[in-house]
Amino acid sequence: MNRLIVGLKQAGLRLTPQRVAICQVLAESKDHPTAMMIYHQLLPQFPTLSLATVYKTLHVLKSMGLVHALGDAGDGAEHFDADLTPHINLVCVRCHRVVDFDERLVHEIQHIVEQRSGYEVQGARIVYYGLCPDCRAAQRNGKESA
């Protein structure tokens, strides 16, 4: 049982196989999925799954602070991250990929923020926007139109 499933139970939601599967996708995914990505990933396994169920489950998890909403990646859809440890998200504005970038300095910055502000930081959202190496290469080669 991952902490997301425990959280849904605490929120009073019935633990249907579909909701449990949504939690598993979130916990295991490194792709920072959108609701639509989760929906399409689970549809073969759960043909009766509705997009509304995915949205509602994500909304509950987000309101409980169990997943972070990263905002859109230039694709107009909200991306979610179940990894709450301080890290940087790199967003490619061209292919809309979101990847993690682990930098030790981020932990130090959080420590400094806590020390100086008196806050107990429970999460952080650090997003860098730009072009990923693949898109940079594609742009250089001029094989794709921008």
**What residues make contact with Zn ion under the rule CB under 5 A?**
92, 94-95, 132, 135
Closest contact distance (angstroms) between CB of 74 and Zn ion is: 10
Query: Which conformational region is residue 71 in: left (phi greater than 0), alpha (psi within -120 to 50 degrees), or beta?
Result: left
Closest contact distance (angstroms) between CB of 92 and Zn ion is: 3
Q: Which residues contact 127 (CB under 8 A, 6 or more apart)?
A: 70, 71, 88, 89, 90, 91
Nearer to Zn ion, 33 or 86 (CB): 33
Closest contact distance (angstroms) between CB of 130 and Zn ion is: 9
Reference 98, options 55, 69, 121; nearest CA is 69
Closest contact distance (angstroms) between CB of 129 and Zn ion is: 11
Contact 70, 78 (CB under 8 A): yes
Nearer to Zn ion, 43 or 137 (CB): 137
Nearer to Zn ion, 116 or 143 (CB): 143
Nearer to Zn ion, 37 or 135 (CB): 135
Contacts 24+ apart (CB under 8 A), 23-29: 23/57, 23/61, 26/61, 26/67, 26/80, 26/82, 27/2, 27/82, 29/82
